[in-house]
Structure 1
Amino acid sequence: MIRDPSAFNETLGALRRYVREQLIPREAEVEQLDEVPADLVDDLASRGFFGWSIPQAWNGGGMTTEELVLAAMELSQASVAFRARVGTNTGIGSEALVADGTPEQKARYLPLLASGALTGAFALTEPGAGSDATALTTSAVRDGDHYVLNGTKCFITNAPIAGLFTVMARTDPQDRSAHGISAFLVERGTPGLATGEPYRKMGQAGSPVSEVHLADCRVPADSIIGGVEGMGFKTAMKVLNKQRIHLAALCTGPAIRMLDEAVAWTCQRRQFGQPVASFQLVQALIADCQTEIQAARALILQTARQRDAGEDVTMQASICKYFASEMCGRVADRCVQMLGGTGFIHGHPIERFYRDVRLFRLYEGTSQIHQLNIAKRTIAAAGYRLGE
């Protein structure tokens, strides 16, 4: 749903110009520094990027799902570091609060997240609990009017710079299912919470990721999101259902950019006396890229509209993330192929995106996990129950 189509089209146009005139020219600087420079962070904050989908009641942009994915497709045509810097705030770092937070929790944290004054992080994954999130072992033991948290989280985006962590921990040690998990809000500076050194990664320079360590970390009992034990996994699934649609859009933007770069290069590069783009086998690569990009975009917009209409899009969100992330990988590979040796040289945008987008098929559910989820839900919808 787009609330005001005319105004939103202007917003998208301004965003498109900003990406091309301000962000893309500084991509090499971001990669070299391995961070988004402070002046750009301040500029992104002043333009409201951190609060795109945080409700207006808490000073956010209040974007609908459809508006969010359209904006994300524009922003993600620049280096993935830019969208990662703001993405946890307007995505997984705030969505648990938006979905299930108490009025007091929302009032305390959402305005800070929307302004960019506070950076959020979503701490679910553990060394032994990734695809099987219910296997998490981080514990939260009640001690009077506090909980004591112990455990280690890994692969947490923005952890090194985050000021607020949404931490999934097991409050019922006897219940090893999803029902024993609760979600906590933990501020940086809380004794017992520490973050590790940023990982050295294959790609996505400028997007810091690290471990989160909890050692006898005491948090007030009212730090549980929603104020109720045992609801953490349901909260996490609400977060991920929306974020998977968002991430699918963030996979589509880089694909659009890479195809634009490849078309420009193949139309200018000449071989055998003619532009490389005139060769039919190259045109086939271009056509396959464009077709898959358009298919992903249509799928994402359809699912976003369904979510805005209040429909259950659990399977559709999984389909979006699976298709768009795999699509982006295929586009990246074809674009490197179209550029030949140039596409393999460090410093070219396609070479950088080729490394950056590989992660899309891993986080927030690997492609294989999404395949299993989609198949199981399809079989169940047909009225069959396996294993009986």
Structure 2
Amino acid sequence: MAAQSPLALFDVDGLVGDDDRAIRDTVRAFVDDRIKPNVADWYESGSLPARELARELGQLGVLGMHLDGYGCAGTSSTAYGLACTELEAGDSGVRSLVSVQGSLAMYAIHRYGSDEQKDEWLPRMAAGEAIGCFGLTEPDFGSNPAGMRTRARRDGSDWVLDGTKMWITNGCVADVAVVWAQTDDKIRGFVVPTDTPGFSAPEIKRKMSLRASVTAELVLDGVRLPESAVLPGAVGLSGPLSSLTEARFGIIFGSLGAARDCLETTIAYAGSREIFDKPLSGFQLTQAKLADMTLELGKGMLLALHLGRLKDAGQLRPEQVSLGKLNSVREAIAIARECRTILAAAGITLDYPVMRHANNLESVLTYEGTSEVHQLVIGQALTGQSAFR
């Protein structure tokens, strides 16, 4: 009988509308032509042509694609999720560039910014002519952002920011940073042009994961900003946390793209690799592994599509995003690791994407909410009791 692709067994295409499928296929073609032929070299060298890619991704229409106005495409959330699937099938670093640009930096300005901030930044960011980053995490405060030490104080009519942010995607190539800081009136967000005196963003090197991604530290040393730099609609942690929820939605879909790429690669490899005089794919243990991985990939995609429809209907809750992020990334990294066992020694090389995806997913597992944090979010929803403290 003819072989089927993993998601064909779940008839996933039949669950996706024509417009959303067309967007998905366009992004898939871009990834096949532009990302996959180059990403192993980028990963090995620990570099990414971020500015060049940002312009190309802007022309493709995926930067802030699910936002309305200001040059954004205004697609469905499901279409955005499917685009993230295809981008992460290329590499988690590329999907991270798009997620941070659109779902963190652009989203925060779009939802909480002034008309002047939106007009100044969003059209250029949608086109990829300006790159944004999102400064929330600090060296000592990741899962507990309320403890951040970065502070913004009043000085006449200005604000002065001092502090340090860590693990910031796009940081050292960004033209604008959305930075969150403690003030005398709760946590506030600031739109910070990166050429402001006192702002610097040294790149973080020697990474073993997300190597095809730009990661930086943000240093704010007496950064003076006018009153107009404040995001007027965000007071307290709800602003940054809602932005993170927006970005986590993309991860629900994106991480499954990495898993799918691993599984499709492994099925093809097992079909061509002969051992004991027949294809590796013809052995029962190999087929059992492939069947189990396909089942988890398909279940994850069905959940992702369901959550996408809830988001499009305006009904998606943060705890449901935690369900999706926890499941997708946990299963994706398990699939990547299992695929590596089938490829054996070949699986550790950059000739195949499996180990690269597995290494990247180690970061995706813990950023924008560790698995433990999402378990506690779900636990709180189930019991009504907070176990965070």
TM-score calculated relative to the size of structure 1: 0.91
Q: Is the 8 A contact 1:36 1:85 kept in 2?
A: no
Label 1:181 to 1:42 Cα distance change in 2 as closer, same or farther (>3 A).
closer
Secondary structure of 1:92's counterpart equals helix
- In structure 2, give the amino acid aligned to 1:200: R
TM-fit CA distance, 1:319: 1.0
Is 1:294 equivalent to 2:301 in the alignment?
A: no
Q: From 64, 73, 85, give the equivalent of 2:85.
A: 73
Is 1:320 equivalent to 2:333 in the alignment?
A: no
Q: From 246, 249, 253, give the equivalent of 2:253.
A: 249
Is 1:258 equivalent to 2:262 in the alignment?
A: yes
Q: Is the 8 A contact 2:55 2:129 kept in 1?
A: no
Point out the more displaced range, 355-364 or 41-50. Answer: 41-50
Question: How many angstroms apart in 2 are the aligned matches of 1:309 and 1:47?
Answer: 25
TM-fit CA distance, 1:72: 1.1
Residue-by-residue CA offset, 1:10-68 (whole Å, 9 max, x unaligned): 2322222222233211222322443333654433232223232232x200111221111
Q: Is the 8 A contact 1:99 1:239 kept in 2?
A: no
Q: Is the 8 A contact 2:248 2:368 kept in 1?
A: yes
Q: Is the 8 A contact 2:189 2:231 kept in 1?
A: yes
Number of equivalences: 372
Residue-by-residue CA offset, 1:296-330 (whole Å, 9 max, x unaligned): 11111211221221225110001111111111110
- In structure 1, give the amino acid aligned to 2:226: P
Q: Is the 8 A contact 2:172 2:216 kept in 1?
A: yes
Q: Is the 8 A contact 2:92 2:255 kept in 1?
A: no
Query: Any gaps of 5 or more consecutive residues in structure 2?
Result: 1-15
Question: How many angstroms apart in 2 are the aligned matches of 1:315 and 1:8?
Answer: 25
Is 1:153 equivalent to 2:165 in the alignment?
A: yes
TM-fit CA distance, 1:188: 0.6
TM-fit CA distance, 1:249: 1.1
Question: How many angstroms apart in 2 are the aligned matches of 1:243 and 1:42?
Answer: 21
Q: From 360, 367, 373, give the equivalent of 1:363.
A: 367
Secondary structure of 1:242's counterpart equals helix
**Which position in structure 1 is the counterpart of 2:117?**
105
**Which position in structure 2 is the counterpart of 1:44?**
57
Q: Is the 8 A contact 1:101 1:225 kept in 2?
A: yes
Secondary structure of 1:90's counterpart equals helix
Label 1:7 to 1:373 Cα distance change in 2 as closer, same or farther (>3 A).
closer
Label 1:86 to 1:386 Cα distance change in 2 as closer, same or farther (>3 A).
closer
Q: From 215, 226, 232, give the equivalent of 1:220.
A: 226
Point out the more displaced range, 328-337 or 97-106. Answer: 97-106
Q: From 237, 242, 247, give the equivalent of 1:238.
A: 242
Q: Is the 8 A contact 1:49 1:86 kept in 2?
A: yes
**Which position in structure 2 is the counterpart of 1:22?**
34
Q: From 260, 278, 281, give the equivalent of 1:274.
A: 278
Query: Any gaps of 5 or more consecutive residues in structure 1?
Result: 173-178
Q: Is the 8 A contact 1:51 1:116 kept in 2?
A: no
**Which position in structure 2 is the counterpart of 1:307?**
311
Higher relative contact order (CA 8 A, sep 6+): 2
Question: How many angstroms apart in 2 are the aligned matches of 1:259 and 1:386?
Answer: 36
**Which position in structure 2 is the counterpart of 1:175?**
none
Q: Is the 8 A contact 2:265 2:352 kept in 1?
A: no
Secondary structure of 1:148's counterpart equals strand
Q: Is the 8 A contact 2:54 2:129 kept in 1?
A: no
Q: Is the 8 A contact 1:50 1:86 kept in 2?
A: yes
Q: From 343, 350, 353, give the equivalent of 2:354.
A: 350
Question: How many angstroms apart in 1 are the aligned matches of 2:62 and 2:316?
Answer: 27
Question: How many angstroms apart in 2 are the aligned matches of 1:200 and 1:236?
Answer: 28
TM-fit CA distance, 1:213: 0.5
Question: How many angstroms apart in 1 are the aligned matches of 2:23 and 2:255?
Answer: 21
Question: How many angstroms apart in 2 are the aligned matches of 1:188 and 1:63?
Answer: 29
Q: Is the 8 A contact 2:21 2:79 kept in 1?
A: no
Question: How many angstroms apart in 2 are the aligned matches of 1:32 and 1:376?
Answer: 41
Q: From 206, 217, 228, give the equivalent of 2:212.
A: 206
Point out the more displaced range, 40-49 or 311-320. Answer: 40-49
Residue-by-residue CA offset, 1:171-219 (whole Å, 9 max, x unaligned): 12xxxxxx72111111111111111133321122220111100111111
Question: How many angstroms apart in 1 are the aligned matches of 2:368 and 2:26?
Answer: 30
Is 1:11 equivalent to 2:17 in the alignment?
A: no
Question: How many angstroms apart in 2 are the aligned matches of 1:135 and 1:16?
Answer: 40
Query: Equivalent pairs: percent with the same residue?
Result: 29
Label 1:27 to 1:350 Cα distance change in 2 as closer, same or farther (>3 A).
same
TM-score calculated relative to the size of structure 2: 0.90
Question: How many angstroms apart in 2 are the aligned matches of 1:206 and 1:346?
Answer: 13
TM-fit CA distance, 1:86: 2.7
TM-fit CA distance, 1:73: 0.9
- In structure 1, give the amino acid aligned to 2:355: E
**Which position in structure 1 is the counterpart of 2:194?**
188
- In structure 2, give the amino acid aligned to 1:187: P
- In structure 1, give the amino acid aligned to 2:61: G
